[in-house]
Amino acid sequence: MKLMRHLWLIVLTILALELTGMVTNVEAAYPVSTDPMRVKQTYLDMIHIDQAWAAAGDSRTPIVVAVVDTGVDLTHPDLVGNLVEGANLLQPSKKPYDDNGHGTNVAGIIAASINNDKGIAGIAPNAKIMPIKALEADGTGGEAKLGEGIKYAVDHGARIVVLSLGLNKYSDYMQGIVQYAEDRNVLLVAAVGNEGSSVKYPAAYPSVLAVGGVTPSKKADQRSNFGPELDLVAPWDVYTTALGGGYQYQDGSSMSAPQVAAAAALVWGKYPGMTAYQVRSQLEQTAEDLDTAGWDPTTGYGLLQVDLALTQPYNEDRFEPNNQKNQAAKLPIHTAVKASIASAQDDDWFAIDAAYDGFIELWLHTSDSSGIRVKFDSGETFTAANSSDANQPFKIAVTKGRTYVQLQSVDRTRTTAIPYSLVTDFVIYKDPFEDNDKQYKAFSLPGRSQTIRGTFDKKDDLDWFVLNLDHSGTMRVKLSVDTGRIDPMLLIQKEGEKAISIDQGGDGALEVSPLMDVFPGQYYIRVSNMKDYSEPITGEYTLEIEYTPKLIDPNEPNDKSYQATFAAMNSVYEGLLNTNDDVDWFEFRMAKGGLAQVRLTNIPTSRIMYATLYDSSLKEQNFYRNEAGSDQLFIEKTLDAGTYYIKLQANQWFMSQMYRLKISSYTLVSGFADIEGHWAQAAISQLTEQGVISGYGNYRFAPNQPITRAEAATVLTRALKLSKRKELTFSDMNTSHWAYEFVAKAVQAGIVSGYPNGTFGPDRTLTRMEMTQMLASSMNMTGKRRGNSPFTDVDDSYWGVGILKQMSSDGWIAGYEDGTFHPDEQATRAEFVTMLAKVMNR
């Protein structure tokens, strides 16, 4: 008896060591596959299956894996020996025969017989497939049969249920089924879906092992769904069993999920004492980390590595070391994990990334009476003291981005570990248009084109909007979403009229209304989700309203000269040309002779507009048109005092935008429209009449514009009537320059000179000092040294101080009221002309 007792202790010790991964028995390992088509199963090499079989040891504990799918080919030679009784939920009197092929594909990945001289090798030789037909021949099905299939599997001995299918809809019913399986220690493994969008259900439930797919280069396949619910990835492309006893290549996350389910069967076969959570955690913590370090939303915890799952010791707290903020372990925002706080000196830090503004919900379960303190980086603190605290979550408002969570023992003297389980969830923000769930609560939008974003943040959320339109026109409404969990629907209704519904697409589709004629009044728009969701949806919708008002010409009727709209000077008039024969007449009056300026702007760039000018007797004066592609037409013409008309036409009608007409008039002084009332008007007029100066040829003198050195030399030459000239050697002026002759004469007279570097700088603006120097030279002034500087901003070290002293003392120049002269500022054309006139009048 004593010997038997020792033997049992030895056996129990070995079993315990194997459960913790401390002993690996490879003497009776599964043999390497010799199946003829194993060479086509390259995906098995990515997950290290040969090494996994070697590590599996002699443990051949059978594990029943339920395939809830389209059924299984029950006579397939590579599967027939590895099947247990299943169920046909669609036709209960019949066996679960596969009439699609999908379920057979899944079953072969898991449990195709190894080394039977046929076909391929399944990943888990110890797995037995329980075929459960819950999907139709076309691969479709509903959550009722899916839930029934999971429950059947749990109740009939399945340890693992693989679900290579998905729905975009959350439901309390399915959540209850998932919890039913979890409570009975059954592991659910599900595919995330293949739309490049949000993770589908049931994979999205926290306790379900969600599997995505990667390419042979270990990059997430672009079609594989992703998000905070993703746990693991496995190869996307496989070669597996097919209907009729055949084999075929297949791809998708539905082919990735059974690889993980099979790996779980191997792990459970070697360590039968593990819980479903521990098997799941072991697969996650031994995965090959891909993409960014730690968990990420595109590859989860990484690529399945079956050999490591069978050989590495199970870590009860796989997130260590994470006792400091800079070591925080990344945690998905929808997950369920277990860990422990080793002692009072151990803090557990987690980093949770939110894709939107909203609320993080956190359920913390610990059986320890002293409790765990939860701190968020926002400063909020909560405490969980026992299991009852886990019934209600801690809820904290967060903004899009990262939030840190710190867990620590309440008892700061504690020396023993505190195990805990943690469940995280997220509730998206309430959009700023709430409360607008009823039509009478519709949020009022301005009557224009616009784009807004909203959310479905609560159960049965509907969003109503009302658009108040003042003008007839056209409208198109677009509704898009950023997640496949929303099947968007639009409803549009003019107040008092029948509503129209737009639901042309399915999950995640863009919904677009037809281009509608609209009239003044209120238009109601309802945004909703076709699905009957019982929970908020993590995602946003975008509502885009394109409204083009049918504009009304306020000047009509003005199609005849006797109907002409009177245009007051400097006022803006808007108009349309709503037919190809439409013309618009405007009348304006010149109180006195001068320059008339007509500016026509906001012309559609695809149109040509014509303007005809008439006098009071309707005699045509001029005809004008804008350049093709230009949105404006500018007219200037000198006119006598009197009444005039402008007739506007276009090469094609337009109603989408209004042209703008503005008419102005300016009195011409000495031929210029911009010097009336200017302080230098008299000097400009005098020198203009003497032929010394001229403007820019468009009725403008530009008195406040800086004068260039070439312009100054030209004006001085004319004013002094210089005739002798000197050949110039400046590197920046040759005989082709327009001012060459004038500069040459001014240089000969000693009035101007160049710079030490051999240039003249004809286009450089003249400074006030250079202006003073030129005018002093024209009067043969050389400057004087005696006396104090007349200006506070010029000292005796300044190069032109002598000239400034002489010009100031003789009364030729004066500074500003504050006693400064600003010698290096630009001299304007008005300043130069005024000083020159003073010199000429001396």
pLDDT digits (tens, 9 = 90+) for 153-174: 999 999 999 998 888 888 889 9
Same domain, 269 and 374: no
Does the annotation mark 387 as catalytic?
no
Whether 163 and 301 share a structural domain: yes
Task: Determine the structural domain holding residue 468 and report its residue range.
Answer: 439-549
Q: Say what the pLDDT of residue 61 is.
A: 84
CB neighbour list of residue 45: distance below 8 Å, 6 or more residues apart: none
Asked whether residue 45 is domain-assigned, the answer is yes
Active site residue 156: no
CATH number at residue 576: 2.60.120.380
Same domain for 192 and 307, yes or no, is yes
Distance CA 458, CA 538 (A): 10
Compute the CA torsion angle 374, 378, 379, 384 (nearest 10 deg).
-20
Residue whose pair of structure tokens reads 């046909």 in the numeric block: 88
Instruction: Write down which residue in 494, 515, 549 finishes a domain.
Output: 549
Instruction: State the Cα–Cα distance between residues 483 and 542, nearest whole angstrom.
Output: 11
Please write down the HEC assignment for all residues of 528-540. Answer: EECCCCCCCCCCC
Same domain for 305 and 210: yes
Helix (H, G, I), strand (E, B) or coil at 740: helix
Asked if 489 and 387 sit in the same domain, the reply is no
Report the run of H or E that residue 835 belongs to, with start and end.
helix 829-840
In a domain, 556, yes or no: no
**Catalytic residue list contains 822:** no
* pLDDT of 827: 95
Q: Please report, for the chain, how many H helices and E strands are present, in that order.
A: 15, 37
Q: Considering the domain boundaries, does residue 10 fall inside one? A: no
Number of domains in the chain: 5
Q: Annotated catalytic residue: which of 48, 102, 334, 365?
A: 102
- Residue 398 falls inside a structural domain: yes
Q: Are residues 102 and 245 in the same domain?
A: yes
Report which residue type is found at 606: S
Of the candidates 35, 69, 231, 553, the residue annotated as catalytic is 69
Q: Is residue 121 assigned to a domain? A: yes
**Residue at which a domain ends, from 380, 407, 428:** 428
Domain for residue 11, yes or no?
no
452 and 411 in a single domain? The answer is: no
Task: Give CA–CA dist 283/265, Å, rounded.
Answer: 11
Report CA 583 to chain centroid distance, whole Å. 46
Do 379 and 424 lie in a common domain? yes
The reported pLDDT for the residue numbered 103 is 95
Residue 319 lies in a domain: no
Residue numbers of the chain with a pLDDT score lower than 70: 1-31, 58-59, 369, 386-391, 531-534
Residue in 198, 254, 685, 778 annotated catalytic: 254
pLDDT of residue 533: 57
In a domain, 207, yes or no: yes
Please choose, from the candidates 136, 267, 290, 250, the residue with its C-alpha nearest in 3D space to the C-alpha of residue 189: 267
pLDDT of 532: 60
SS3 content of the chain, % helix, strand, coil (to 5): 20, 30, 50
What contacts 24+ positions apart, CB below 8 Å, involve 504-512?
507/168, 508/168, 508/195, 508/197, 508/481, 508/483, 508/484, 510/478, 510/479, 510/480, 511/478, 511/479, 511/480, 512/476, 512/477, 512/478, 512/479
Amino acid identity of residue 46, one-letter, is M
Angle at 834 between CA 830 and CA 839, to 5 degrees: 150
Residues 91 and 216 in one domain: yes
Whether 629 and 709 share a structural domain: no
Would the pTM of this model clear 0.75, i.e. be above it?
A: no
Candidates 472, 483, 477; CA nearest to 506 is: 483
The CA-atom distances, in angstroms, between 519 and each of 365, 469, 548 are 60, 7, 11
Residues 791 and 660 in one domain: no
Q: Are residues 90 and 222 in the same domain?
A: yes
Which residue among 311, 334, 369 closes a domain? Answer: 311
pLDDT at 697: 82
Rounded to the nearest 5 degrees, what angle is found at the Cα of 183, between the Cα atoms of 177 and 187? 75
